[in-house]
Copies of this chain bind each other. A is one copy, B any other.
Amino acid sequence: MSATDLQGMPRVGILGGGQLGRMLALAAVPLGVKVSIYQAKPSGAVDDFDHVFTGDWRDAEALEKFLEGCTVVTLENEWADLSVLAPMCEARGIPLWPARQTMTWIRDKIVQKRHAEASGLPLAPFDAANSAEEIAAIVERLGLPLVLKSPTHGYDGYGTATAKTLEEAIAAHERLAREGQSLVEAHVPFIRELSVLVARRPGGETVSYPVVWTVQEDHRCVAVELPAPSPDEVQARAQALAVRAAEAFEHVGIMAVELFECADGSLYFNELAPRPHNSGHFTIEACESSQFDNHLRAILDWPLGSPRPRARSAVMLNILGDEDGRESRPERLREALCVEGAHIHVYGKRESRPARKMGHITAVSDDLETSRRRAQSALERIMEP
């Protein structure tokens, strides 16, 4: 019997060891794709895997070890400092996706909006403000209410505020500005927020996932629902817009494109994430290929998997930390496992903190009401006092 050494299976380097790194690794293993993970601080979410490296984003020695054997490098959050790593990848001929140009266009939300506008994507009037005086001028020009955002490091509603008066706008600016600057957007009278995931290969091939409704409370997504209630025609335009966005940003990998839908069916580009996204967790159970699977395929320049839905409806709810850490008690999880059609995902983080994403639930079924009831029931079993 001849024995053939297995060679040539790729190794993907992942920057960031949170839940997105965890789920990327879980998608890599069945494909035979190896992963190496680099994290600045261990959260616990990737403790189950081998080839995990912990170090500062600028620690060339630790990064060197991480890069060993990597075929391609990607990131699970857009705040990883690439200043040392990117040149190392270039010197070694290891592709880094998303590319630096894409990251430069995305990281600062002001630059992102300007690039989106220059690319012809429809978006609400916006401006960058550097002072209270500029805020006053913007209020004069765009009216009220306004939405103010930190240009960088905002997520999950942190870094976003709605201002109904000039005073609120100035206060929000002072609180949210980074290096003195905030992003100020005209308020879009939208009826709901949508998200579309697009996977794109280096050659430009794309697939786009079914449109989901990202149900919001206080600028925070509290549920993701498939199908979105929008008319088919609006959904088709949303998908096309998301593909245009992925192309405009020359993105490679999976990208979540967040949109505003107005009562007249018009759509506005809100913002995007150049990586797997919370609004795409439903794809694990509800689509032929998950967002994690397709992110890996895209950055490896492999054929993309089908985004076709495998369930008529899906509802995703986040499991957030609370003061008592009750979401992390095994006996609570056990109860939630009793709910048919509810898939529980625990992120394995070592510490629970209020509002921290500790896991999620995706319920699937033939109709949206059932999926909602199942997801809610599972979450209540975990969280009820």
A32-B359, A350-B5, A352-B4 given as contacts; is B297 within 8 A of A337 (CB)?
Answer: yes
Interface presence of A178 (CB below 8 A): no
A5: which B residues are within 8 A, CB to CB? 350-351
Q: Mark A337-353, 1 if CB is under 8 A from B, else 0.
A: 11011011111111111
Q: Mark A1-37, 1 if CB is under 8 A from B, else 0.
A: 1111110111000000000001001101111101100
| Contact (Cβ within 8 A) B26 A351 | no
| Contact (Cβ within 8 A) A330 B8 | yes
A333: which B residues are within 8 A, CB to CB? 31-32
Q: Mark A299-322, 1 if CB is under 8 A from B, else 0.
A: 000110110101100000000010
| Contact (Cβ within 8 A) A4 B325 | yes
Give the complex CA separation of A28 and B344 in angstroms.
11
| Chain B min CB distance to A373 (Å) | 15
| Chain B min CB distance to A365 (Å) | 10
A32-B346, A303-B334, A310-B311 given as contacts; is B351 within 8 A of A3 (CB)?
Answer: yes
A29: which B residues are within 8 A, CB to CB? 22, 26, 48, 348
A321: which B residues are within 8 A, CB to CB? 4
| Contact (Cβ within 8 A) A6 B349 | yes
A3: which B residues are within 8 A, CB to CB? 351-353
A34: which B residues are within 8 A, CB to CB? 47-48, 348
Q: Indicate how many identical chains form the complex.
A: 2
A10: which B residues are within 8 A, CB to CB? 330
A158: which B residues are within 8 A, CB to CB? none
A49: which B residues are within 8 A, CB to CB? 48-50
Dominant SS among interface residues on chain A: loop
Interface presence of A92 (CB below 8 A): no
| Contact (Cβ within 8 A) B348 A32 | yes
A9: which B residues are within 8 A, CB to CB? 328, 330, 346, 348
Interface presence of A247 (CB below 8 A): no
Interface presence of A324 (CB below 8 A): yes
| Contact (Cβ within 8 A) A340 B297 | no
Give the complex CA separation of A339 and B245 in angstroms.
27
Minimal Cβ-Cβ distance residue in B for A71:
B330
Specify which of B44, B328, B341 is in contact with A306 (CB 8 Å cutoff).
B341
Interface presence of A52 (CB below 8 A): yes
| Chain B min CB distance to A68 (Å) | 15
User: What is the interface of chain A, defined by CB distance below 8 A to chain B?
Assistant: 1-6, 8-10, 22, 25-26, 28-32, 34-35, 44, 47-52, 288, 297, 302-303, 305-306, 308, 310-311, 321, 323-325, 328-330, 333-335, 337-338, 340-341, 343-354, 359, 364
Task: Give me 17 A-to-B residue pairs in the complex whose CB atoms sit less than 8 angstroms apart, sorted by A's number.
Answer: A2-B354, A3-B352, A4-B325, A4-B351, A4-B353, A6-B328, A6-B349, A10-B330, A26-B29, A29-B348, A32-B330, A34-B348, A48-B49, A48-B50, A50-B50, A288-B340, A310-B364
